[in-house]
Structure 1
Amino acid sequence: MSLHSLGPQQGGNNDYLVSRSRAWFAFAMTFALMLFDYIDRQVIVSMFPHLKAAWGLSDKQLGALVSIVSVVVALGAMPVALLADRVSRVKSVVVMAGVWSLATISCMFTRNYAQLFAARAVVGVGESGYGSVGAALIGSLFPARLRSMLLGAFFAAGSIGAVLGVVLGGVITARWGWEAAFGVVGVPGLLLAVLYLFVPDYKTVALQQSTGARGGTLAQLAAALTSSRTLWWTCLGAALQLVVVSTVWAWLPSYFHRAHGTPVDQAAMQAALIVLCSAAGSFFWGVIADLFASSRPRNKLTVLASLCLLTTPVLVVAFGAAHSMNQQFLLIALGGFLMTCAVGPASGVVLDVVHPGLRSTGAAVLSLFQNLFGLAIGPFVGGALSDALGLQMALTIMPAFGVLAALCFRRAARTYEGDLRKMASAAADTTQSAGLAPSQAA
């Protein structure tokens, strides 16, 4: 691991912080760990029918096994990101990956609901802040013009990991039992954690150079994060849209099993295809958002609002009015492709409007909202609605959160360009304080 100043190298490196080969190695490693982050997080959803039968669990209890990971990630994201921003992003990732992988392996030794719930909480401890720290590394090592696309691809790794988690969980559970599935998916994360030590890091940027705040680190942090309305509206919009995503991802295998009598392993495969559509959508809409933003930056958020609004009727019709299984599957696939539209662009917007020395922390604010008010709410509330109204009705109601997400992104669009100008001014101040030529600024 080596540290680099937060400004591009000279010699025609085209705004990359390090050499292109090292930057892409960092992206590959960060992508791979994100993949296993979500494999370990989502592997449990295809086990729901088995756990329900074995331990007599309610849908609310099953949903809580998914939601607890997101709750702990949300609570731990800020402390981990603060430490990473002030000390080392790479070292923090290595430690986190080791913890969540060992916790996943420990799930195979649990013998009751309370033990499994506690082990899943420790998985969340390990995953705290990983998405925000990984996003900050990508956003800093690569040129700004590639951020939405690369962050879309990075977070698409989460979708692909969820696919693999659902598939592996279903296949392994059907053959060797649900305990074995946790052991199989937990080991690769340990190996990747060791390899991550070779990823390049960047030097910490002093906050007082451009926040204008005096006092301790916490005062400077508060001043930097509260200065942007765009940050908060974007975080809320991203979280509300993830309520839709997490509900569909968590309950789709169970829905296919209950509504259509599909065997558990086949239901997992069908759900995995939908999640794969979500992965493709995450990358595709990141590219589209960048294209629209090239003419005017606020168009990025306008596109997100439109896509979130479109997601809602597609999924409502899919679960509430489709007349055949084939028609329903196609509509759910379309909804899956649309519903991850905000994942990459929202991260790009957040990184655009926070101080360079707080990129991990700014991304952690987004992660807190996404996990506590998005990923944690979907499976649990969806499960509670399922207990009360039935799973099909729950899946018909929950997509309405997309309308609220659209309103938040429309509100964020109003202040985005003004916040971009503030950050451009802050970057110029940082450049002057560091004694760099303008061409060397990040």
Structure 2
Amino acid sequence: MHYVEASTLGTPVTSVARPRLYAWLVFALTFGLLLSDYMSRQVLNAVFPLLKAEWGLSDTQLGSLSGVVALLVGVLTFPLSVMADRWGRVRSILLMATLWSLATLGCAISTNYGQMLTARFFVGLGEAAYGSVGIALIIGIFPSHLRSTLTGAFMAGGAFGSVVGMALGGVFAARFGWRSAFVAMAIFGAALVVTYALTVNERRMRGSATGTTEPREIRPGFRLSLRNLFAGLFSTTSVICAYIGSGLQLFIMAAVIAWMPSYLNRYYAMQPDKAGVTAAVFVLIGAIGMVVCGAVTDRVCRHSPPRKMAMAIVYCLTTAAILGVAFQMTPGASQLIAIGLGMFLVAGTCGPAGAMVANLTPTPIHATAFATLTLANNLLGLAPGPLLTGVLADHVGLLDAFKLIPLMALFAALAFWIGRAHYADDIDRVRAPTLATEA
């Protein structure tokens, strides 16, 4: 059977189009803001031990400071992305980045748990729709055959940002106090906002688009109504399974990212600065794996999109096996190597899941579609991962909590398997309205 990418139907064929230089500049700046996003989000994890000692916080409270950001992202990403589709993605990005940078500065001046939780709330508010709006903006100016690679690379920015946030956060906290870590992240974000505002605008974006058409150039018969919006987002089983599988798999990565510095501090007797830098290495491995897995998926599945679901299943099952064994091992060099291998694959599903969402949803609602993916990622993975791991750690210890979290990959694999079984019928269903209109 011959498969096509549904979301490109009715748009110019761009399989051989080459991205323009300006597109790569926009990608670099948008990627840089994603780094700032996650640096501001994950710097907190590097100072967990210091906050615990200074304010006497429980692991549950520490987990809530991390989880509240992901919770806000999960709850608000959908409505804010819909607004961004209508108001303008570039302007929305600038507003969001300004808010999270100011809120990060607010974290630096917090004097107790309540104030820190409030500041983190506004960090989450600012970051809520950035991931979905940013990737939709990028997808809109690049050829469609690069979707898994671009999605994996862009989402890897979150992991790279986490690396820098935790590593620099640990260093700043050890040398200048934990407040300086938040100040540094806020300054970096503000500098990028100014650069972005001077470089990127909607007019130049339209002139550089090579991968898709703008919303007003949508295929005949598609109207951006509320009914069509939800129909486009949830009309097929396979796209719903892509949302669910992606979220469940990221539960594992979120838990490891949030708690690895504390794990190294407690079970390897590392000081906060060394623990932060070491934990950042694992996140860096995950980021590299995200990019590599996305590129491999595009190459292997170039002529057979359903294989992207199969690749996601492989990533899930391999992750469950490797990390399941790793956290059963005695702390030591061998365990750290095993954890590194697992982290290389743990977020490999991001590229395939993002590509499937783009393939099975109309181009004009891609920001909202990726918002839905972000919603699933946060409500099923990024928000509950750190919080539930903290709750488990309070009851059974952090090591035993880590032994349980790889099991979530099995449920993710099941979701992708169901989606793969329905893909052929779903792609035909998505194509049907366009073919009927063209006839």
Decide: shared fold, TM above 0.5. Answer: yes
Deviation of 1:267 (Å): 1.0
Task: Tell me, yes or no, if structure 1 residue 304 matches structure 2 residue 306.
Answer: no
Match of 2:300 in 1: 292
Hey, what's the Cα distance between the residues in 1 that align with 2:321 and 2:97? Answer: 38
Match of 1:367 in 2: 374
Match of 2:86 in 1: 86
- Whichever residue aligns with residue 165 of structure 1, its letter is G
Hey, what's the Cα distance between the residues in 2 that align with 1:422 and 1:210? Answer: 15
- Whichever residue aligns with residue 169 of structure 1, its letter is G
The 3 A distance-change label for structure 1 pair 80 and 208 is farther
Deviation of 1:196 (Å): 2.5
The 3 A distance-change label for structure 1 pair 7 and 21 is farther
- Whichever residue aligns with residue 15 of structure 1, its letter is A
Hey, what's the Cα distance between the residues in 2 that align with 1:426 and 1:35? Answer: 39
- Whichever residue aligns with residue 64 of structure 1, its letter is S
Whether the 8 Å contact between 1:210 and 1:429 is mirrored in structure 2 is: no
Task: Tell me, yes or no, if structure 1 residue 146 matches structure 2 residue 146.
Answer: yes
**Equivalence map 1:320-339=2 (5 Å):** 320=328, 322-323=329-330, 325-339=332-346
Hey, what's the Cα distance between the residues in 2 that align with 1:124 and 1:425? Answer: 39
Whether the 8 Å contact between 2:69 and 2:124 is mirrored in structure 1 is: yes
> How far does the alpha carbon of each residue in 1:119-158 deviate from its partner, in whole angstroms, 9 at most, with x for none?
0010010001111011111212111111101111111111
Match of 1:65 in 2: 65
Whether the 8 Å contact between 1:86 and 1:204 is mirrored in structure 2 is: no
Hey, what's the Cα distance between the residues in 1 that align with 2:26 and 2:169? Answer: 28
> How far does the alpha carbon of each residue in 1:377-410 deviate from its partner, in whole angstroms, 9 at most, with x for none?
1100000000000000000101110000000011
Deviation of 1:13 (Å): 10
Deviation of 1:8 (Å): 5.7
> How far does the alpha carbon of each residue in 1:241-296 deviate from its partner, in whole angstroms, 9 at most, with x for none?
01100011111110011011111111111111111100110001101111221242
Q: CA RMSD in A?
A: 2.1
Alignment equivalent of 1:204, drawn from 203, 215, 221: 215
Whether the 8 Å contact between 1:135 and 1:347 is mirrored in structure 2 is: no
**TM-score (normalised: structure 1):** 0.90
Alignment equivalent of 1:378, drawn from 370, 373, 385: 385
Whether the 8 Å contact between 2:220 and 2:434 is mirrored in structure 1 is: no
- Whichever residue aligns with residue 368 of structure 2, its letter is T
Alignment equivalent of 1:317, drawn from 325, 345, 355: 325
- Which is worse superposed, 158-167 or 197-206? 197-206
| Unaligned residue ranges in structure 2 (runs of 5+) | 1-9, 207-213
- Whichever residue aligns with residue 370 of structure 2, its letter is A
The 3 A distance-change label for structure 1 pair 95 and 337 is same
**Equivalence map 1:39-438=2 (5 Å):** 39-197=39-197, 198-199=199-200, 200-202=204-206, 203-205=214-216, 209-211=220-222, 217-320=225-328, 322-323=329-330, 325-424=332-431
Deviation of 1:79 (Å): 1.2
Match of 2:211 in 1: none
Deviation of 1:421 (Å): 4.0
Deviation of 1:26 (Å): 1.3
Whether the 8 Å contact between 1:87 and 1:204 is mirrored in structure 2 is: no
**TM-score (normalised: structure 2):** 0.91
Hey, what's the Cα distance between the residues in 2 that align with 1:272 and 1:201? Answer: 34
Whether the 8 Å contact between 1:151 and 1:347 is mirrored in structure 2 is: yes
Match of 1:436 in 2: none
> How far does the alpha carbon of each residue in 1:311-340 deviate from its partner, in whole angstroms, 9 at most, with x for none?
1121121111x2451101100100110101
Where 1:141 maps in the other structure, the secondary structure is coil
Where 1:294 maps in the other structure, the secondary structure is coil
Hey, what's the Cα distance between the residues in 2 that align with 1:68 and 1:62? Answer: 10
> How far does the alpha carbon of each residue in 1:349-370 deviate from its partner, in whole angstroms, 9 at most, with x for none?
1111111110000000001111
Deviation of 1:63 (Å): 0.7
Whether the 8 Å contact between 1:27 and 1:138 is mirrored in structure 2 is: yes
Deviation of 1:207 (Å): 7.3
Deviation of 1:194 (Å): 2.8
Match of 1:26 in 2: 26
Deviation of 1:422 (Å): 4.5
- Whichever residue aligns with residue 103 of structure 1, its letter is A
Deviation of 1:428 (Å): 6.5
> How far does the alpha carbon of each residue in 1:152-196 deviate from its partner, in whole angstroms, 9 at most, with x for none?
111111111000011011000001111111011111222222332
Whether the 8 Å contact between 2:29 and 2:196 is mirrored in structure 1 is: yes
Hey, what's the Cα distance between the residues in 2 that align with 1:336 and 1:288? Answer: 17
Whether the 8 Å contact between 2:149 and 2:351 is mirrored in structure 1 is: yes
The 3 A distance-change label for structure 1 pair 103 and 427 is farther
- Whichever residue aligns with residue 366 of structure 2, its letter is R
Deviation of 1:416 (Å): 2.6
| Unaligned residue ranges in structure 1 (runs of 5+) | 1-5, 434-442
